Amino acid sequence: MVNGSRVVNWRLPLRVIGKAVVLFLLLNLLFALTLPLEFLGRASLYNWLLAGRERLPYGEVPSESYNLSLFNIPAMMASHIISQEKAHDEFRVLVIGDSATWGWFLENDSTLAGQINKGDYVTADGRRVVAYNLGYPIMSLTKDLMFLDAAKESEADLIVWPVTLESFPREKQLFAPIVQNNPGRIRPLIDGYDLQLDPADERFVNPDLLDSSIVGQRRNLADLLRLQLYGFSWTATGIDQAIPENIPLRRSDFEEDLSWQDYEAAVPLTSEELAMEVLEAGVAMAGETPVLIVNEPMFISCGQNSDLRYNSFYPRWAYDQYRLLLEEAAVANEWHYLDIWDRIVADEFTDTPVHLTPEGSRQMAEMVMEEMLRIVPKG
């Protein structure tokens, strides 16, 4: 007692606080050095406690769609029904590609994979054709290759790869955030398949020690938790996309405009501008598993200046050259190739030149299945 007052001993609380700070710093350092995010992503409630998702997580309005976008590929794959064990009588088909494959403004059963499954197709040897939607709403062949690589242990019997010109420009291969945030997955693909891309591209996200700590990775850790929490609402409702009642339609009339990408006028296109080697890499990665490359259908306008442009995506000069280059590559490499670019009428497209209505998607599925059944190994 001093002057009738108790002397407060601060040593114990300061010692406890100091130890907590040291422990926190050590945990952050250990986390940063071991980078366990991909390992943590493999731990999932989906496909046992929660229903597996029918397409990869993607979404910006979680309150309306019970979905979100994240960069953790193992977590995305673990949440998907592709992680379920393959049935003995199943002919497993992986469908990769862009937002048209993912199914923009489509319910799951109306996507390309969903329409294939509704067809109740059976192979010649009696196996059920079961398609899995591994599309992701970004146009980049390299992004497709990354997801194909992530699914290489899924025991696929056939791979369907719808493509369109917007996925081919070399500049777009590394522009997607999900690609930029996975340099550890993309760089081995560049080196292993001799892709004409720069492994030191400045757009790659290369976190330093602080960025790799728990503090630096708090957003990614929160996304892992949110993905699990949204799974309860997904399981209860089956809603993973907010689809408006009235979908805005693609443009039909255009200015006198010949531009495409960075080109203001028509120029000769070559494989230097288009990343054809990424398709070669995908076929090589699949090995003995057949890959069906599909030049996907698109909206063809009959409106103003439609003699110059097929649609808002493509001037005729660019798309026509692309089709020739793709067909030449398919013939030279002996790929399984299906070109259905003009096989679906204009009324079956919605907000962009490649997004289909449910009926358009059904028609595409029929054409794809007809070709698939020609190349399926006979029992």
CATH of the domain at 364: 3.40.50.1110
Residue 102 lies in a domain: yes
Residue 58 lies in a domain: yes
Helix and strand counts by DSSP (H, E) for the chain: 13, 5
Residue 57 lies in a domain: yes
- Sheet of 336-339, strand order: 128-135, 90-97, 158-163, 291-295, 336-339
Residue 218 lies in a domain: yes
Q: Which domain holds residue 277?
A: 36-375
The two structure tokens encoding residue 355: 């997004």
- Distance between CA atoms of 33 and 24, rounded to whole angstroms? 14
| Whole-number pLDDT of residue 9 | 67
| Whole-number pLDDT of residue 1 | 47
Residue stretches of the chain with pLDDT short of 50: 1-2, 379
Residue 24 lies in a domain: no
| Whole-number pLDDT of residue 94 | 98
Residue 175 lies in a domain: yes
The two structure tokens encoding residue 175: 């522009």
| Whole-number pLDDT of residue 35 | 62
User: Total domain count for the chain?
Assistant: 1
Judged by DSSP in three states, 76 sits in: helix
Identify whether the C-beta of residue 68 lies closer than 8 Å to the C-beta of residue 227. Answer: yes
Identify whether the C-beta of residue 46 lies closer than 8 Å to the C-beta of residue 53. Answer: yes
How long is the chain? 379
Residue 212 lies in a domain: yes
Residue 366 lies in a domain: yes
- Distance between CA atoms of 298 and 80, rounded to whole angstroms? 28
- Distance between CA atoms of 70 and 38, rounded to whole angstroms? 12
| Whole-number pLDDT of residue 377 | 60
Give DSSP secondary structure letters for 13-66: HHHHHHHHHHHHHHHHHHHHHH-THHHHHT--SBTTTBPPBSS----S-HHHHS
